[in-house]
Structure 1
């Protein structure tokens, strides 16, 4: 029958070439159109699953993020929810990913030290899944999502536009900005990078939309971008620009291995301003250190996130755990002269006493002061926010203080007999426990000179 069909097609082409070629072309177009529509539907269904499975490394379903990410205690270590006052605290490993878990030792070159006071903390806890966050503005769109393997909520960006957290209105001479960034593992080189811009806006409501990917726009900003796929596809990519009076005065670009769609599609971004100087870190790697990035005296008052178009429908960025702190840590003066130093820069896995590796810079800063003042002894005191059970929080704070002592002794060589530990749980708040930034201030470690 196949030979008969081929003969029939050949005869039809010979006798009626235009008629057959037209119908055949239309038939092929219809098949192609239906296939493309099917692929788009399938991609839309799978995009979140693709992001989540790579982040988790297993594809297993984990808690849906309805709990908080406060780092306070839960009733056990098996994922059981612990209810208090209507809130649900879910035990989970905040560092779950497809790569080897980093350690303090692996962060030995990480010199980032968070600012002294947390002034803004965005965990999107007040927003509903599927909505654009209420405290942000945009000329595009975005939506709040959950991610498998991660507690809390996140903002997903997949459209060209600018996104501004309206509650950040001041970026002073000394500040630090930290956040988590994710992308899908198939992210295309031809899709846009994710831009962070520290802008000086005269009219925030009207001007923020002028910061766009293409076309002329008035800009007064310091700009950094990250992209998870470089031209070769084997690394990530980053750019840096300084805009003064709508002109690029400094710019550069470089590849890096820390944010790469195929192998490392989640990254901790840490940004540190000290007067004119700007340092940018991806996980433990410093990718930019620019001594004359910011213009002194200029009022940088806005943080903008920006992205251009995407080459394929599944490409998107997801951001979360945004933390802004101000002030330069004054460790030596506070501890030696004033007798007490408090820091929110020592971070722990959720509901655990495991110190997270990005705490290395803060621990090293404290260790340096202790090494320079060999006669000084200190008491290390742990504190938590008010989420979770009171007794469990007290116990957790004591274990965290002990973990800090252990790190100072084992990683930095401080004599154990110079260090005592204690924990106060949630009993001595310094911030408002009803607000994310207040909770972040309360999750602290104090060093008291004895």
Structure 2
């Protein structure tokens, strides 16, 4: 018995030493203390759920989305394009699934008026578009890499396809290899409803890396050898909450710690009445802006480090409960700073792909407000200038339909400038060219996105 007592004492002593050592490390890194406490609380929450029985776990707590077999004809293949195509590939793909929202109440559809404080301006030239239209449902997308799991899915009631992200890992679009001094990054973000407070953030990473194929795996939350870059975290709110959270970090690989970190309340998303949000990131040299839908969350004048050559973006999940899931879609990267005034007034012509429309429609998407406001500002300051507004489409669909659609979209832009910015209708003419004057080849998603544009020509 004495030997047993002695062994027990040694074991307890070793445990105590180990705990003390670990505790000391955590005190030096408060972020890890918070993460560990969250994990412990999550484990307690899981234990409670187990006590209630596995049936409730199988049903899941998500009221907004549920998985079911794919139905034919439910899914347009892409968002913001003139026609859907290759539907047979999607509908007949092995493992095809759909994430279906419930009948929970939806908010009123946003309008240009509701976005009146939205000043986001997308970059001048689109260099990358990802809508997963080239990927079969059930597959991991061909142009991405990961050290986790994921698959392309559809969400019923939304347009196009989504990438369902695995619970713990990094998701890297291999087609992005440069983030210059002026760029914008946009994507749609969704998650299952009733998203647990204890599940991890989805993080968007912008960094400088030497070998992206290898170094992208370093961007796990618990790793200490992070490369230099920015990391933005978003997390859904609990049902009934009115605010969500966003955190922002600038990491140093030399220190392995955060040089800047802050938390800020943001409008709630992924509650039962708000399924999907649009995330918009805008870099202007050192300046960083972040928007969630029409709300500006961050506007930091010195965030990007001038000595760094940012060449990498990725998404990171740091662990979440099985019933909680993140989805991303419609990623769009553009570079260059729009110079509306100089191009319209001095050069006599300004073209933008930042005025977006609903699919096969002349209804302007509300996130176009910033671009319209910028154009209206130039016209207001130059009160004698008259312009012709010309709509253009990509080559999908038939010629006659594209021509008619381009004319309707030009007329819708004129109407928006009159109704929302009091620009006199007599100062604007409209026309449409359909697909007849492409700005670039229609052979790629980026080319097609660039051809879906609105042109303003000084008269």
TM-score (norm 2): 0.81
Tell me the secondary structure at the aligned position of residue 369 of structure 2. Answer: helix
Q: 1:87 to 1:355 in 2, by over 3 A?
A: farther
Q: Report what 1:196 is aligned to.
A: 204
Q: Deviations over 1:251-273 (max 9, x none)?
A: 10012124243332310101100
The answer to whether residue 164 in structure 2 is matched with residue 160 in structure 1 is: no
Pick closer, same or farther for the CA change 1:86–1:187 going to 2, 3 Å: closer
Name which one, 1 or 2, has greater alpha-carbon Rg: 1
Pairing 1:166-205 to 2, within 5 Å after superposition: 166-205=174-213
1:51 aligns with 2:65: yes
Matched residue SS, 2:433: strand
In the TM superposition, what is the alpha-carbon distance from 1:132 to its structure 2 partner? 0.8
Find 1:322's aligned residue among 314, 331, 334.
Answer: 331
Residues of 2 paired with 1:87 and 1:205: CA distance?
Answer: 29
1:52–1:386 distance in 2 versus 1, CA, 3 Å: farther
Shift of 1:152: 1.4
Q: Is the 8 A contact 1:196 1:306 kept in 2?
A: yes
1:442 correspondence with 2:456: no
Q: CA deviation at 1:50?
A: 3.7
| Cα contact 2:196–2:238 (8 A) shared by 1 | no
Mapped to 2, the partners of 1:180 and 1:201 lie a distance apart of 25
**Would you say the 8 A contact 2:64–2:275 is kept in 1?**
no
Q: Structure 1, residues 85-109: CA drift from partner, whole Å, max 9, x if none?
A: 9999xxxxxxx98211111111110
Q: Distance in 2 between matches of 1:224 and 1:84?
A: 35
**1:369 matches 2:383:** no
Question: What is the SS of the residue equivalent to 1:146?
Answer: strand
TM-score by length of 1: 0.82
Where do 1:263-278 residues align within 5 Å? 263-278=273-288
Kindly indicate whether residue 156 of structure 2 is the aligned counterpart of residue 142 of structure 1: no
Aligned to 2:23: none
Long gaps (5+) in structure 2? 1-46, 91-102
Query: Structure 1's 181 and 84: CA in aligned 2 closer, same or farther, altered over 3 A?
Result: closer
State the 1:69 CA deviation: 2.6
Partner of 1:285: 295
The answer on whether the counterparts of 1:235 and 1:257 sit within 8 Å (CA) in structure 2 is yes
Matches within 5 A, 1:295-314: 295-310=305-320, 312-314=321-323
TM-superposed CA distance for 1:61, in Å, is: 7.8
Q: Secondary structure at the match of 1:254?
A: strand
The question of whether the paired residues in 1 share the 8 Å contact of 2:195 and 2:238 is answered with: no
Matched ranges for 1:352-391 at <5 A: 352-391=361-400
Q: 1:380-415 deviations in whole A, cap 9, x for unaligned?
A: 000011111210110000000000001111111111
Structure-2 separation of matches of 1:254 and 1:68? 33
Match of 1:6 in 2: none
Q: Tell me by how many angstroms 1:214 deviates.
A: 1.4
**Partners of 1:265 and 1:193 in 2: CA distance:** 17
**Alignment partners' CA distance in 2, 1:231 and 1:394:** 45
Alignment partner of 1:206 is 2:220: no
Whether the aligned pair in 1 keeps the contact of 2:80 and 2:357 (CA below 8 Å) is no
Helix, strand or coil at the partner of 2:114: helix
Aligned residue for 2:247?
Answer: 239
Helix, strand or coil: the match of 1:191? coil
Q: Confirm or deny: 8 A CA contact 1:70 1:385 kept in the other structure.
A: no
**Do the aligned partners of 2:267 and 2:295 also contact (CA within 8 Å) in 1?**
no
Q: 1:441 to 1:147 in 2, by over 3 A?
A: same
CA contact (8 A) 2:182 2:284 kept: yes
The farther-off stretch of 138-147 and 231-240 is 231-240
- Partner of 1:393 in structure 2? 402
Whether the aligned pair in 2 keeps the contact of 1:136 and 1:165 (CA below 8 Å) is yes
**Match of residue 405 from structure 1:** 414
Deviations 1:46-105 (A, max 9, x none): 96x84269xxxxxx98943254334326xxxxxxx8x899999xxxxxxx9821111111
- Checking the alignment, whether the CA contact within 8 Å between 1:64 and 1:147 is kept in structure 2 is no
The separation in 2 between residues aligned to 1:66 and 1:72, in whole angstroms, is: 11
Deviation at 1:158, TM superposition (A): 3.3
The question of whether the paired residues in 1 share the 8 Å contact of 2:240 and 2:271 is answered with: no
Mapped partners of 1:155, 1:316: distance in 2:
10
Contact preservation (8 Å) 1:402, 1:421: yes
Aligned residues of 2:80 and 2:356 also touching (Cα < 8 A): no
Determine which of 235, 259, 268 is the counterpart of 2:269: 259
Helix, strand or coil at the partner of 2:155: coil
CA contact (8 A) 1:385 1:429 kept: yes
Return closer, same or farther for 1:85/1:426 CA change in 2, 3 Å cut-off.
farther
Offset at residue 277 of structure 1 (A): 0.5
Larger RCO (CA within 8 A; separation ≥ 6): 1
